[in-house]
Structure 1
């Protein structure tokens, strides 16, 4: 509405008195067409961010001596949401009376997601991963979160040439990135260093060979075996310099903590900026304590109150899951904030280097149960997983 200020103030007041009748007249003159029940913007938002998804396992395939590939389809929709290559999903299922979930990086490409297929490569290590690799079968139904995570390429931040360094199951997000590059959805040049003890522990050899024809540069490194066509030893700076200029690339690391420690030490002499090296987060596990105490954890979840046992060496999230509580979680590394909960009473400690809370969260007593351990009886308020 155009409004021109009048010369005398009282004239503005007279016009203001007519404002309500004018609005009523405009509303009365409007059409009586019913409002739509669903808006396209909301429908698009739901497709991109569905929250939890119901999925079914469609195929199980051995990959290496200690890795298995699981392929899923959605039950509640026909397609998975589009994601950034390198991201992860959190998979949830009931195992032996406990509700268990873990994050797993996606091995398939974003285009596969739109075609209704999502693939995870899982290493047989840990309670839930052991179950998925040895007991899960086609037809099993589980719950999965939407893709999440900051481990992906950013045009404005990262160099055009990137170096992927993978160890063990750390190949999965880097394989997704290589596939996205080959399909033309990402614009970068990629060199991939993939380390394992021997050829028995290398996964996706055929897929990597196919991607090498499409532009991916693959260097496979064996620490315990010498074989033609493979580098021998560890992924050191000296080895990488044979293939790339380490001062003009962005690094993406995914693997065990020992690999991170070694590679970061190797890169120290190059004085690279912080943004030049990205590490995929690993789950926060149990503490190594000789005689862990057991405390009582009181959990408020909306209108319900639960009391469960919580050991000093396990995270609050692990204690809740062991008791069968459906506590929200995604990264299990303290970074995403999805398990953001209110501390009410008791003492706790947070895993070293895992405190990803904002300053306001610390001030007003919020915690991330996935990286928090009890030091006494505790009381917390946890959101309902929806």
Structure 2
């Protein structure tokens, strides 16, 4: 009796083994399959996508959705909640920013990226106010681990969103509705003002039409006419609208300050780290307020960054090294710009660098001096290796 190979539980294993045996019989092997495999992998996980801005939709006074169509046709698939890294040139500076895809995965002809203008920002004001239909841009392929995993996350889901952090949430909701997944999804969405609620009409319509969806909106700075919930998302509100939280999976996406505050509130109502998934939205707004920032160093303090063998430039202690490098004309591979993916790693040869909690550094990184430049801050003159 032949025992079944335990690897047969892996989807596609038996078919692949049968193909290998057939190729062996005919005197062939997989050596000639390399180009086909590379082409297939590139179509699913491209390094760069050539895109055209086919439409611009004004969502609020500070937010608009960019509809991006692939110049080569159908775009690679993605999971609701994932993002792409958008590469642009602003004022002569080549840079990139990650944006969650707000369209549903079922839409393969375009990606929608919903962008909110950040006061004092470098890229978002240009995307909201300066980008025109017909413009050519490029992006990475879809990436990220912030998505619904039915096997591990269960069927009782809560999403806490703030501002443009609702973009991955609307993609998840659209996907669940299209696939009719047997889950419960409670969106708690915080906004500053009543006229700055993104997807207001669609969210209300989905809430009325979809049994799986519960919508709770919270306004922190309401006008006199507003009669809904006000204030901030805290433990009391979460407990009131969601009930027992122990067996729920929670997704959290908003400004860094909101993420930090809500993570603490969720812990207070019994949500464990295992059941909490946080999508960071960039580096800390004020790194000098973080624990561990060196005393006596101001955010505006000038520092010199020397790129080993390539030159040097001036920046300030409060600017992420990745941003400073791009403005000085140095290109560093990057994707998340929030400390997680590690593509932007650089080596610190000398000098002092502050790494906030967002920097998901490995032990080996710390031992050999590597940092994630998107959330690394030079607090003295430094020399680096790209």
Q: TM-score, normalised by structure 1?
A: 0.81
Which of residues 296, 316, 321 in structure 2 aligns to 1:316? 321
What is the CA–CA distance in structure 2 between the aligned matches of 1:320 and 1:309, rounded to whole Å? Answer: 10
Structural mapping, 1:256-335, within 5 Å: 256-285=255-284, 287=287, 289=298, 291-298=300-307, 305-335=310-340
Q: Which residue of 1 aligns with 2:241?
A: 243
Answer yes or no: is the 8 Å Cα contact 1:89–1:103 preserved in 2.
yes
Q: Which residue of 1 aligns with 2:202?
A: 207
Runs of 5+ unmatched residues, structure 1: 1-26
Q: Which residue of 2 aligns with 1:14?
A: none
1:106 and 1:290, CA in 2 relative to 1: closer, same or farther beyond 3 A? Answer: closer
Q: Which residue of 2 aligns with 1:16?
A: none
Q: Deviations over 1:203-231 (max 9, x none)?
A: 11222133221332212222332657733
Which of residues 53, 66, 79 in structure 1 aligns to 2:49? 53
RMSD of Structure 2 on Structure 1 (CA): 2.6
Q: Which residue of 1 aligns with 2:166?
A: 171
Offset, 1:312:
2.3
Answer yes or no: is the 8 Å Cα contact 1:86–1:106 preserved in 2.
yes
Q: Which residue of 2 aligns with 1:370?
A: 374
Q: Deviations over 1:320-344 (max 9, x none)?
A: 110232221111111111112333x
Q: Which residue of 1 aligns with 2:117?
A: 124
What is the CA–CA distance in structure 2 between the aligned matches of 1:62 and 1:150, rounded to whole Å? Answer: 28
SS of the counterpart of 2:87? strand
Q: Deviations over 1:121-147 (max 9, x none)?
A: 111101100010000011111121112
What is the CA–CA distance in structure 2 between the aligned matches of 1:269 and 1:166, rounded to whole Å? Answer: 18
Answer yes or no: is the 8 Å Cα contact 2:351–2:383 preserved in 1.
no
Q: Which residue of 2 aligns with 1:12?
A: none
Greater Rg over alpha carbons, structure: 1
What is the CA–CA distance in structure 2 between the aligned matches of 1:316 and 1:294, rounded to whole Å? Answer: 11
Runs of 5+ unmatched residues, structure 2: 1-23, 289-297
Q: Deviations over 1:279-301 (max 9, x none)?
A: 1112115645254123032156x
Offset, 1:30:
5.4
What is the CA–CA distance in structure 2 between the aligned matches of 1:119 and 1:348, rounded to whole Å? Answer: 40
Structural mapping, 1:108-147, within 5 Å: 108-112=103-107, 115-125=108-118, 126-147=121-142
What is the CA–CA distance in structure 2 between the aligned matches of 1:377 and 1:238, rounded to whole Å? Answer: 46
SS of the counterpart of 1:243? helix
Answer yes or no: is the 8 Å Cα contact 2:86–2:98 preserved in 1.
yes
What is the CA–CA distance in structure 2 between the aligned matches of 1:164 and 1:227, rounded to whole Å? Answer: 27
Q: Deviations over 1:46-67 (max 9, x none)?
A: 1221012121111111111321
Offset, 1:265:
3.6
